[in-house]
Structure 1
């Protein structure tokens, strides 16, 4: 989503990975084909999850005016509402709070709850009393809310390879979301990033479609639970359909990059790499899917009828509804009205129009009156939306839209942070060790170097409170690596710190923490993937002191690290671990052995990109699946 305003079978040695991975892929491929066959087979049509809600949805649809139907197809942003009364006056089907669209009173749990409840109350007070769906980008925890537990981004979870853990993270995220009343997240992301220069790489679990599908299914199951109508579950949204991870350089929104670009591959490759992650999540119960900004061979996915209707809805059997990305329909055609007609007729069911929702409403109504968009398409879209709402229990006689105060008591709890801490330590990948790792927590002096060691914002990355994220004390309730080190060492160990690396002389060991500045989509596209000069200087300064060093890298993708790797005695890829720095020290001090395995191929130089396993390219810095255990 792009906000235009500033708004395990693990524990194996690395050398044994390939054989086991091949076996795993054969099993997963067979399972995927089996699931795909079930999706297409008419023998199980009566078991599709939304069909049992057809009668209720149709009874509501029969009572609706054309205006009410069109309103159900619109999602406005909380910060873009001209007037809160528009929720009722325009019969809006959904509201979102995009990155930066926070409650005016602040980002506390109480303020988010009040915002949700006030808008929902307007919806349920209308003639038909149809509740809104309230959506948010809770992509690594309920990450827009202060004191929420922020989990590692998906790239780290991909390195854990632990589907059970990913499912539990989804469950914890759902509980924290429902504590605020909010019940729809635009996750999981089942993209397959194929070029690390793309700024959304960290939102993907892996470059490998099978691993993405397996963990995407786990995430969805955690979010939606056994029954999406459970008041502790939330509605998931698989994204971005499809090919957003395969765009080529020079086609992106900025004119030179990758984001919102064009994936130029033949259909066989497109299906094998970029479409193959969707049948498994559909089989697992995905009820909403977000089409991508990106194009496939020059045609915007948000206006591609073949992909949205013929493939996704008919061939894959998807019976839920499609929600466009932020103002994505406007990209389909320079004329907004024309773009609306193309996208809706292509199969788009709900339009995310954060500020132009009134204009969308008027244009779609005119298109229906003109016959450009047939009423049958409107009815199909609204019926899909109503069936999802029915499946969520929003039409039940005992439906209570208010947030559950009991869930609020466990918001940001130690129980949730314990799960996040496990996720951090399982996601870390040990890339190098000359014997300095693990660090002795009883050493006389440990010198910590690098500004990232004491920066929760860098540790969490993008999509944390702010859309692009930011450095510094972005949220509360978390633990930086520096604080985690101080709380983990023995009583006689001195911990010193310098942001620039100075003062390491005489220390028993130095722990260097470096990292990318936070970023999200579009802003995160990067041609070079080089460590900043400041980061490289920290490593060089400590290296020149002669002190043994362990370097920890916070990043949303593999970086070009050759010189800093050479200047470190041990090196750990920690990705974007979130708020729980104690998960890093669990590994640093040897309380747990590292088990993470690279879910992406690590390039040796920028001219190797794109490089992915089994693509025939050789000599990466570290191969897919690499990870030392000691």
Structure 2
């Protein structure tokens, strides 16, 4: 029975110096069933009125991709909005603060003026775990400046097939690469001391943010790379490849884990008791909380034709602790209440979920510091963070070809050339440069994004000599190509538009926007460097490889395009190594370095330097 003592001075859970577990247990004894269910409910900010948050005891609020206080809202505007939600939560009977979540997956990418780092596939190419940790620390500051406590990062999916629309969210195809790059967690949350108990959540302080390892488990290994598809594997294979990175995350004190939309051998992850409870919570000793994905309970299709109430029952009993509703909170609360009162969801399962949620909130210091720290606002998009992002761009660039003669490499380029031709929409579109999950889920074109940063074209112009003429055309005209003898060389920037999730699933993987033909047309007339912006390997036609002098994979590098110019003009050498095998033909997929008949165009780990074109 809930404790009805109203003398707040005697409420043990409010004593900031008391042990976390004692505070959790004390608060739990005071909570009614509606208050417990409220803690398990996460709503979208657009339905978060003060009355809803206070009266329904809502435990978490989030912004979906592209859900802002208003267009081009700055961090201070976000902080104002979130503090308003927080004050509503603190006005409830027990004053339990909300935890606010967002998809800050490559920087605080929803917020105007924030530093946007390369996507994970590019960071996997760096093989630099300390750099990734520093990116996490910078991101944490910019996230906390906006009042947000929790980011749904990192994605630790092991990539099985580049046709997957979330390919760029993976660090690579090898579990060892993904494990190494999970150091982002220590940057986001802070690094736990050696004596920190395994599986227990850890957040160092107010300059850190709650991290989330996702998507548990096997989301990168679905058949044919289909988003929300089916991963066909034995448990031994699943454990060796896809579970492995979670061991590293849990060892770093990751506080939350997100369940996957996908299935394992036909079983939906959101209702898989064995994986969510017996493996994650019991075998791996995870003591934080498990959150559903967006409307994740609705993906549960077993038994066939399940209604929402049945999905709630299956998901919660499988081990989901917080549910991204995100809009139908009234139905979720009603169904949860009926299911608990009928005994279909045991009270012990509810108490376990709420204990985990409260544990993270106490560890994160939300009871002591529930409101935004405005002293951090100066970190948003600051020079130091943009320098880290620029370094990440430099180290992520992958040199695939550099001339045909090792003794006479094409790169680095001559910055004092008389006349340069720059071609392709990706050279002057910062939205294309950043990719998905930038301002909104699917990303935006430059004209709409209002991102603060440096395009490749800006960077080229800032790097070349005063006497160098730079001619830019999105699509080269016949007249320009006809006069191309006057160009010292051309830089062609082509690639994918922004995308996310299922909208990014692609069975063909050809370079969009007539990319191959543009490359060939320019390369036939003048020596050409191709810079490919993409979230994955793409089909490289033989003519592209034959006719171009140099080829660079830039991935989706984020806002700091100057990092590309730093390398192609020779201030720094190439360091990137392929985090995924580059296929010759789509019909080879899936292609993995462990396959018996491994015949890639470029193997896992490939990467040239300008120093005689040697392979790293």
1:441 and 2:402 aligned: no
2:41 equivalent to 1:74: yes
Distance 2:369 2:263 in 1: 41
Match of 2:125 in 1: 159
User: What do the CA deviations read for 1:140-182 (whole angstroms, capped 9, x no partner)?
Assistant: 0000001100000000000000000000000000010111111
Q: Does 1:357 align with 2:322?
A: no
Contact kept, 8 Å, 1:451 with 1:499, in 2: the verdict is yes
Indicate the residue corresponding to 1:622 in structure 2.
Answer: 602
2:222 is equivalent to residue 247 of structure 1: yes
> Counterparts in 2 of 1:577-616, with a 5 A limit?
577-616=557-596
Select 1:219's aligned residue among 184, 199, 223. 184
Q: Secondary structure at the match of 2:77?
A: helix
What SS is found at the alignment partner of 2:530?
strand
Following superposition, the deviation at residue 564 of structure 1 comes to 2.3
Distance in 2, matches of 1:273 and 1:74, equals 32
Q: Which residues of 2 match residues 190-339 of structure 1 at below 5 A?
A: 190-216=156-182, 218-226=183-191, 228-249=203-224, 258-333=226-301, 334-339=306-311
Normalising by structure 1, we get a TM-score of 0.88
**Does the 8 Å CA contact 2:532/2:552 hold for their aligned counterparts?**
yes
SS at 1:277 equivalent? helix
The answer (yes or no) to whether the contact 2:44–2:327 under 8 Å persists in 1 is yes
3-state SS in 2 of match to 1:439: coil
Give the Cα–Cα distance (whole angstroms) in 2 for the partners of residues 552 and 601 of structure 1: 18
1:402 is displaced (CA, Å) by: 2.7
Question: Take 2:442 and 2:101, find their aligned partners in 1: how far apart are those partners?
Answer: 18
Distance 1:456 1:167 in 2: 25
1: distance between equivalents of 2:23 and 2:546?
Answer: 65
Say if 1:436 and 1:549, in contact at 8 Å, map to a contact too.
no
1:411 Cα deviation after fit = 1.2
What is the CA-CA distance between 1:229 and the residue it aligns to?
4.6
Q: What is the correspondence of 1:452-463 to structure 2 with a 5 Å cutoff?
A: 452-463=426-437
TM-score, normalised by the number of residues in structure 2: 0.90
| 2:556 is the counterpart of 1:576 | yes
**Are the equivalent residues in 2 in contact too, given 1:123–1:131 (CA < 8 A)?**
yes
The residue number in structure 2 matching 1:410 is: 379
**2:160–2:590: 8 Å Cα contact kept in structure 1?**
yes
Q: Does structure 2 conserve the Cα–Cα contact (< 8 Å) formed by 1:67 and 1:91?
A: yes
1:543 to 508, 523, 526: 523
Q: CA deviation at 1:126?
A: 1.2
Q: Does 1:377 align with 2:349?
A: yes
* Preserved contact between residue 592 and residue 598 of structure 2 (Cα < 8 Å): no
**Structure 1 regions of 5+ residues with no counterpart?**
1-50, 250-256
The aligned counterpart of 1:46 is: none
For residues 77-88 of structure 1, what are the structure 2 equivalents within 5 Å? 77-81=44-48, 83-88=49-54
For each residue in 1:59-101, what CA deviation from the matched residue of structure 2 results, as whole angstroms up to 9, or x when unmatched?
A: 11010000000000010011244x3421111111100101021
Is 1:169 matched with 2:138? no
- Give the deviation of 1:604 after TM superposition: 0.3
Shift of 1:239: 0.2
Q: CA deviation at 1:405?
A: 2.3
Partner of 1:112: 78
Following the alignment from structure 2 to structure 1, what is the Cα–Cα distance between the partners of residues 382 and 72?
Answer: 21
Q: Deviations over 1:230-269 (max 9, x none)?
A: 11000000000000011113xxxxxxx6000110111111
For residue 487 of structure 2, give the secondary structure of its aligned residue in structure 1: coil
1:15 matched to which residue of 2?
none
Distance in 1 of aligned mates of 2:534 and 2:124: 14
2: CA distance, partners of 1:401 / 1:315: 33
1:125 to 2:105 alignment: no
Question: Counterpart of 2:30 in 1: which secondary structure?
Answer: coil
Return the alpha-carbon distance in structure 2 between the equivalents of residues 142 and 262 of structure 1. 31
2:393 paired with 1:424: yes
Deviation of 1:114 (Å): 1.4
The answer to whether the aligner puts 1:59 opposite 2:39 as a matched pair is: no
How many angstroms apart in 1 are the aligned matches of 2:496 and 2:94?
50
- Give the secondary-structure state (helix, strand or coil) at the position aligned to 1:592: coil
How much has 1:105 moved relative to structure 2?
5.9
Superposed CA RMSD in Å reads 1.3
How do 1:426-575 and structure 2 match up within 5 A?
426-434=395-403, 435-473=409-447, 474-502=449-477, 503=480, 505=484, 506-545=486-525, 547-562=526-541, 563-575=543-555
* 2:359 matches 1:391: no
In the alignment, is the contact (CA less than 8 A) between 1:131 and 1:394 conserved in 2?
yes
1:98 matched to which residue of 2?
64
2:76 touches 2:374 (CA, 8 Å); kept in 1? no
Measured after TM superposition, the shift of residue 492 of structure 1 is: 1.0
For residues 374-432 of structure 1, the C-alpha deviation after alignment (integer angstroms, 9 at most, x for no partner) is 1111011101110111101122xxx2333222211221011110000000010000000
Per-residue deviation, 1:533: 4.7
- Secondary structure at the counterpart of residue 522 of structure 1: helix
Return the offset for 1:106.
4.3
Whether the aligned pair in 2 keeps the contact of 1:105 and 1:111 (CA below 8 Å) is: no
CA distance in 2, matches of 1:180, 1:440: 43
Are the counterparts in 2 of residues 107 and 144 from structure 1 also a CA contact under 8 Å?
no
SS in 1 for 2:552: strand
